């Protein structure tokens, strides 16, 4: 899609934001294991949250590629923990409310998400139900004017800071897919408990938590869409999530290539720059070639999404290809740093560890292959 001067100005402003408000503090956030709550308010003040939300709800009503650019640029700068956080708010939760929510739900939640007053999380995964969403056990039973919610969720991005939880639950425990509904749960309701912030091998600053629901009374009007249609809504909105993950992966690839290029031009071995060795040149050239292929695939899918033509199969293929490619490239680029690549003080190590989860969340790549296979071969 064509990128105009307004888009470039918006991107430059965001790059300055990252340079001023993120870069000086990011290492500290990684060590602390949490991005501070204040950054959400700062993102909102500067207009970098949920930018495609219509103006009537406080957003810019910007084209979707403005929003997707933010997660790519954040990952490209090496701040993937923050990219996941922004993506959770702008690329996961916001579209659910925009596309499925009632007027009351949109008017109440979206303006607060745009300003950063409300941090949001989507709670699908459970300890015994990862990619198999039909097997979830969290229940939301309708009782007159409210749902009574019991259960737990794990691996929830933005879980610690969350003010709003988009909760996937069983409203009919006996049914599988047709028993799933989605609720908008105020995280401050009695009975909502946030567990420990989970420690991970990568994405150290990303707010990932367990959530527990004990007899939580959720007003009936906070049902998102219709009862029993939750699984269909998830299938409808998952392409945006997987496109966002792919944008993050692309950003990480481009950022790591640039980082490695700078290193090999400056670093010397056996009396010459590393950039003069054929292996170095071939590894970087191959990474660049794959990056260009990934960029073309991402651009194609982003355009299909803009035209409301992106299929579950197409974006599954993209997510699988680009995250597999990302992990492969990170391993090869880290090797060029030698022992320094294994040291946390060198940013390439963070690119490496942050990449691995991309093949898991948003649906594992094994599930992505199964989706493509079913489309190709049938069930």
**Residues labelled as active-site residues:** 241
> In Å, what is the CA distance from 118 to each residue of 44, 186, 325?
10, 10, 35
How many whole angstroms separate alpha carbon 98 and alpha carbon 48?
A: 17
State how far Cα 161 lies from the chain centre: 16
How many whole angstroms separate alpha carbon 183 and alpha carbon 146?
A: 11
Q: Which residue has the tokens 């989970």?
A: 198
Among 371, 377, 364, CA closest to 131 = 364
How many whole angstroms separate alpha carbon 138 and alpha carbon 134?
A: 11
Q: 3-class secondary structure for 225-259?
A: CCCCCHHHHHHHHHHHHHHHHHHHHHHHHHHHHHH
52: number of Cβ within 10 Å: 19
Question: Strand 146-157 to strand 139-143: parallel, antiparallel, or no bridges (unpaired)?
Answer: antiparallel
> In Å, what is the CA distance from 274 to each residue of 199, 209, 255, 350?
36, 42, 19, 21
Among 117, 116, 115, 136, CA closest to 125 = 136
In terms of residues, how long is the chain? 379
């Amino acid at each position: 899609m064509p990128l105009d001067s307004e888009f470039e100005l918006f991107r430059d402003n965001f790059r300055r934001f990252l340079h001023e408000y993120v870069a000086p503090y990011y290492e500290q956030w990684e060590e602390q294991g949490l991005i501070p709550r204040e950054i959400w308010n700062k993102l909102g003040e500067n207009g970098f949250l949920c930018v495609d939300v219509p103006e009537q709800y406080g957003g810019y009503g910007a084209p979707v590629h403005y929003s997707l650019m933010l997660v790519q640029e954040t990952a490209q700068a090496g701040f993937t923990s923050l990219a996941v956080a922004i993506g959770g708010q702008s690329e996961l939760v916001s579209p659910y409310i925009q596309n499925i929510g009632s007027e009351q739900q949109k008017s109440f939640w979206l303006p607060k998400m745009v300003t950063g007053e409300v941090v949001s999380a989507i709670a699908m995964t459970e300890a015994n139900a990862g990619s198999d969403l039909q097997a979830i056990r969290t229940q939301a039973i309708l009782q007159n004017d409210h749902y009574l919610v019991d259960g737990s969720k794990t691996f929830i991005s933005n879980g610690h800071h969350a003010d709003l939880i988009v909760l996937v639950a069983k409203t009919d425990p006996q049914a599988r897919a047709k028993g799933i509904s989605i609720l908008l749960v105020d995280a401050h309701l009695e009975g909502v408990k946030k567990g420990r912030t989970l420690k991970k091998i990568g994405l150290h600053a990303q707010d990932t938590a367990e959530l527990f629901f004990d007899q939580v009374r959720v007003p009936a009007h906070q049902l998102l869409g219709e009862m029993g249609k939750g699984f269909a809504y998830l299938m409808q909105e998952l392409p945006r999530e997987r496109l966002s993950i792919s944008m993050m992966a692309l950003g990480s690839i481009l950022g790591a290539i640039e980082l490695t290029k700078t290193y090999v031009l400056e670093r010397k071995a056996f009396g010459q720059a590393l950039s003069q060795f054929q292996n170095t040149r071939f590894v970087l050239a191959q990474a660049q070639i794959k990056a260009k292929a990934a960029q073309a695939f991402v651009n194609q899918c982003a355009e299909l999404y803009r035209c409301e033509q992106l299929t579950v199969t197409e974006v599954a293929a993209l997510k699988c290809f680009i995250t597999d490619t990302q992990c492969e490239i990170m391993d090869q680029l880290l090797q060029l740093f030698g022992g320094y690549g294994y040291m946390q003080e060198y940013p390439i190590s963070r690119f490496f560890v942050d990449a691995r989860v991309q093949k898991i969340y948003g649906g594992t790549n094994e599930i992505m292959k199964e989706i493509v296979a079913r489309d190709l071969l049938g069930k």
